[in-house]
Structure 1
Amino acid sequence: MWIETRGRGPDLVLLHGWAMNSTVWNGIADELAQDYCVHLVDLPGHGASIVTDALSLQMMVDAMDAAFPYPVQIIGWSLGGAVAAQWAIQQPEKVKSLTLVASSPCFMQRTDWRSAMPATVLAQFAEQLQLDWQGTLKRFISLQAMGDASARAVTKELLADLFKHGEPSITALSEGLAILRDTDLRDQISQITCPVLLQYGDRDTLTPLPTGHWLKSQLSDVELIVHQGAAHAPFLSHRADFLAAQLKFLASN
């Protein structure tokens, strides 16, 4: 598994979202590394972390747990947040604090859960991956930035990061989409006992803001930060405010 480490101090693990890689954090990593030992991870099957086994949420959690046999603080964006949440549920002694950025316990709509992506959207992405995977990833990035006050800049930055660690495996991309489709941690999320920071954009169409409010209602030690005008990547579009909230939270935990 690809892991780049910067800085010295308490251990801080950063986990990216589906189809991306750890370079998405470059805009904030050096700032965080002034006070923390920052571990930039390419999730299994993403970027430079090549795997031969089928991807699953549990497989990713097991890989993270093996890579970090000591307590860490975690920032998880989107899919990376689900990996981090499952890790915190299973290994509470390993996760000192958890930050969920535009993430969800359940990424696909259910009859009792509307604050998520429609099933048809995920099915379309899965089908289009087989026909034009590069175009599909570009469309997904456009969705992440849609509605953001800085949509053009966010899109440009995510596209620039997309292949910095190599081209992804179509199989891994498909398996990652299946994780987004099947993951549902709603019944387990209240088992998280560590301090949690929620950083969300009020214009996010992939993990809408009601998700953040729901998580706040389920967790015992939690703070919700809403970035006005941000969509799915507030660490890019609202970098200064994101960092200020993040550093304050990390320092207190």
Structure 2
Amino acid sequence: MDLTITRTGDAGPDVMLVHGWAMHGGIFGGLVDALAMRCRVHVVDLPGHGRTSAFVPGDLDPARCAAAIAAATPPATWVGWSLGGLVSMHGALAHAGHVRGLVAIAASPRFVTADDWPHGVPASVFAGFAAGLEANFQHAIERFLALETLGSPHAQDELRALRARVFEHGDPSREALREGLDILDREDVRARLPGLAVPSCWIAGRRDRIVPPAAMQWAAEASPRGRFVELPTGHAPFLSEADAVATQVFAVIDETAAP
């Protein structure tokens, strides 16, 4: 599996950042700056996204992605946003000796609703985006970006930031986008969270229209060493609250270093 991973900083504990659907690692610019004061920050572009243009069907499988990232990077605290949060959850569950701590940002253990899970969006939402990819590729991505910022007090600024970044390294792979939507539709790691051995922080956006804060609170309570934090944002808290997110990452790093 091809991956592009960049590093910022030469000293301190290692942190791995994993982005969400249709984006790439460049979206974490402000958070990287905040973290690099104390950490060596590794930022991945997932297959078919950003500078990792190569994509083979199956490459976005969260377990496969997590294994590939772990093989290419030193032990670290993993920070995953949205789809990247699912990758990071699989990393923390399967590679606890390598993933020292987990910070999940607006990343639910299950993104779609079910009879026993009201904390998500209807499956029709992702089906609609999948249909949109076939009809009008860029318009479908624009709709998703708008949904990510909907409800945020800084919605216009955040939407401009997402729009400026999403095509910065060319179009993401259509095949990767289809596979990513399918993963968001079907993935469910709720039953595995009680086995999460590492410290974890679950950061929700109070006005998030994709991942309700209740999903993140549930995940924190299901995780033996979990902690829930809510910020006054939409689906991308690190865009307007980079320092607040960095503070939570530092807290997890400190917890991993404690006896």
Name 2:15's counterpart in structure 1.
Answer: 12
The answer as to whether partners of 2:47 and 2:55 remain within 8 angstroms in 1 is: no
Q: Which SS does the other structure have where 1:194 is aligned?
A: coil
1:175 and 2:179 correspond? yes
Name 2:160's counterpart in structure 1.
Answer: 156
Q: 2:65 aligns with which of 55, 60, 63?
A: 60
Q: Which SS does the other structure have where 1:41 is aligned?
A: strand
Cα offsets for 1:116-170 (capped at 9, x unmatched): 1211111110001011110110110000000011111111111111012221111
Question: How far 1:67 sits from its partner (Å)?
Answer: 1.4
1:33 and 2:23 correspond? no
Question: How far 1:29 sits from its partner (Å)?
Answer: 0.6
Q: Which SS does the other structure have where 2:219 is aligned?
A: helix
Name 1:115's counterpart in structure 2.
Answer: 119
The answer as to whether partners of 2:202 and 2:217 remain within 8 angstroms in 1 is: no
Q: 1:147 aligns with which of 147, 151, 159?
A: 151
Unaligned runs of 5+ in 2: none
CA distance in 1, matches of 2:64, 2:153: 36
CA distance in 2, matches of 1:104, 1:27: 23
Name 1:195's counterpart in structure 2.
Answer: 199
Name 1:210's counterpart in structure 2.
Answer: 214
1:72 and 2:44 correspond? no
The two structures, once aligned, show a CA RMSD in angstroms of: 1.3
Question: How far 1:249 sits from its partner (Å)?
Answer: 3.2
Q: Which SS does the other structure have where 2:43 is aligned?
A: strand
Distance 1:161 1:97, change over 3 A: same
Question: How far 1:217 sits from its partner (Å)?
Answer: 1.5
Q: 1:23 aligns with which of 26, 30, 36?
A: 26
Question: How far 1:238 sits from its partner (Å)?
Answer: 2.1
The answer as to whether partners of 1:44 and 1:63 remain within 8 angstroms in 2 is: no
CA distance in 1, matches of 2:16, 2:220: 22
Question: How far 1:245 sits from its partner (Å)?
Answer: 2.9
Q: Which SS does the other structure have where 1:188 is aligned?
A: helix
* Higher deviation after alignment, 233-242 or 31-40: 233-242
Question: How far 1:247 sits from its partner (Å)?
Answer: 2.6
Distance 1:147 1:52, change over 3 A: closer
The answer as to whether partners of 2:47 and 2:53 remain within 8 angstroms in 1 is: yes
CA distance in 1, matches of 2:86, 2:55: 22
Name 2:5's counterpart in structure 1.
Answer: 3
The answer as to whether partners of 2:195 and 2:224 remain within 8 angstroms in 1 is: no
Question: How far 1:96 sits from its partner (Å)?
Answer: 0.6
Residue identity in the other structure for 1:5: R
Q: Give the TM-score taking structure 1 as reference length.
A: 0.95
Q: How many residues align?
A: 251
CA distance in 2, matches of 1:172, 1:28: 25
